Structure 1
Amino acid sequence: MVTTIQIKEDTKSTLTQMKLFERETYNDVLERLIEDVHELNDETKKEIESAINEIKSGKYITHEKLAEEMGF
């Protein structure tokens, strides 16, 4: 079954920019996005939350600092 939905013009523009190739349909783009969301299982969400907390608490190293430490 095919249906029509109303979206804002800027949303349509964003979907257009997200196409992997010119002839990809908006339905394909939306299905890809939905699949990506479903792939975030509970464990992945916990890992993301943990990483965000580490960054907020200052437990990270910049690319520049890492490169310096590794001698690049």
Structure 2
Amino acid sequence: MAGEVTTIKITPGVKQRLDRLRRYPRESYNEIISRLTTEKEEEGITEEDILDIEEALEDIKAGRVYSTAQLKQKLGLD
């Protein structure tokens, strides 16, 4: 529910780190923590990443891969 709050205990070191992460002087700890957790959640693997991985696995299964030595030979870099 909006308006509800809770209290958490943090060490002085964590408080100092949160203070350094402030984007503006009056940014609340709640805003800092919310921003950090949102940014972390958004860092995850994307759908495009998953599709690229699946495509690469299919290439491996189908033998559409080369070793470094094979690639050098194919490109005439021996």
TM-score, length-scaled by structure 1: 0.57
4+ residue stretches of structure 1 with deviation over 4 A? none
Shift of 1:42: 1.5
What is the count of residue pairs matched by the alignment?
45
- Supply the distance in 1 between the matched residues of 2:12 and 2:44 (Cα, whole angstroms): 31
Partner of 1:42: 45
Give RMSD over aligned pairs: 1.7
Q: Which runs of 5+ in 1 are unaligned?
A: 47-72
- Supply the distance in 1 between the matched residues of 2:34 and 2:10 (Cα, whole angstroms): 16
Residue identity (%):
32
Partner of 1:30: 33
- Work out which of the two has the higher radius of gyration on C-alpha atoms and give 1 or 2: 2
Greater share of residues in helix = 1
